Amino acid sequence: MSNPFDPMATANYAANLAFSQARFQKMYPEFFRWFGRKTPYDGRPLRQWMDRFSQHLFYGNPQAAVVVSQNPLLVAAYTEELDCVAMLKFPDITGITAPLSVGDRLLTVNTYQEYAKVVSDLQPGPRGRESWQNFKPILADLFSDDQARITYLKSKITEAQWIYAQQLGERYLVEKPGHVRDGCPLSCMFPGTPQRLWPNFHAREIPPNFSASLGALEFLRRDKQGRQVDFDTVTVLLDAVGIHPEIYERTVDFKFHYELQQDQYFHTEINGVRFAITKAKAHAYDNVGLAFDQERHGFTFKNLKAPS
């Protein structure tokens, strides 16, 4: 298996764990139903995502994670790179998550992402290296059967590190209530935030050979139409499905229209992505990787990367 990640975004020593499809299927059966099957957010086949999970658990960075709430089941996943935790929420699944209780020590395997600024649900600590602005934590205990290897990796984490991770998790519950990520490996990189917007998505012309992004645009039009979507999620989604070379190699003329109950909208376009948003909300969005251009009357996504 070759490492698909930036070597700097994984680990000095890899977790070397195997992904368990059986565990994933038991945790999230909605992705495997014959009828009413849920599809990944970007339209890619689930098999491609599970291959990605395998690479993540093999090459990723093993770190401490601690259960901080039983009902709902919340796990604080720690990263040394940012010296902080992300709060993950999981369903109650008999035989996998049901036995867990507050204080239980788990293993998170992390990979890292670079954005313009740290996403809003993370609180980097003084020990952080400031190299990354987001991370994706997948819990090995829930998605791998390599229990001996997991136990070994846990033994390498010091008692002080376990205590520190738990303290950060307990503090997080107090300081950032409601900032909870979906722990599913498909979405655990999306920042958790209670701040919601009501967007309407309108896809413009789609090139006929634009198969990879078509599913993503359909996701935005169909699944998100009329539903609440936090702005951090939109930012990460655009990075993933807008013009990220991992997904596809072309851009699309794609319009964002946010219904924010203001009268005036401003438009801009960058790398083929067109969107509209009110000037009145400019101050609220700069901390999630946006810059408001006063002269052009629009926003640019500072964290987006042009296709190679």
- Over residues 87-123, the pLDDT tens digits come to 999 998 878 887 899 999 999 999 998 876 788 789 9
Reported as a single tens digit per residue, the pLDDT across 227-252 is 334 444 444 444 443 333 333 222 33
Strands (E), the chain: 61-69, 73-79, 84-90, 105-113, 134-139, 181-182, 199-203, 254-258, 266-270, 273-277, 290-293, 298-301
CB-CB contact of 237 with 231 (8 Å): no
Q: Is the pLDDT of residue 304 over 80?
A: no
Give the pLDDT confidence score for residue 46 in this predicted structure: 87
Q: What is the CA angle 225-231-233, rounded to 5? A: 80
Report residue 233 as tokens.
């999620």
Whole-structure pTM value: 0.65
* Mean per-residue pLDDT over the chain, rounded: 68
* CA 171/CA 166 separation, integer angstroms: 9
Give the pLDDT confidence score for residue 294 in this predicted structure: 34
CB < 8 Å & 24+ apart, contacts of 123-129 = 123/84, 123/172, 123/175, 123/176, 124/82, 124/83, 124/84, 125/82, 125/83, 125/84, 125/168, 126/83, 127/80, 127/83, 128/80, 128/81, 128/82, 128/83, 128/84, 129/80, 129/81, 129/82
Q: Is the pLDDT of residue 200 over 50?
A: no
Output 41 or 47, whichever has higher pLDDT.
Answer: 47
Give the pLDDT confidence score for residue 95 in this predicted structure: 80
User: Which residue type occupies 150?
Assistant: I
* CA 232/CA 238 separation, integer angstroms: 10
Give the pLDDT confidence score for residue 41 in this predicted structure: 62
Q: Where along the chain do its domains lie?
A: 7-182, 199-301
Q: Is the pLDDT of residue 286 over 60?
A: no
Candidate CATH numbers 3.40.1190.10, 3.40.190.10, 3.90.550.40, 2.40.410.10; the one for domain 7-182? 2.40.410.10
CB-CB contact of 150 with 135 (8 Å): no
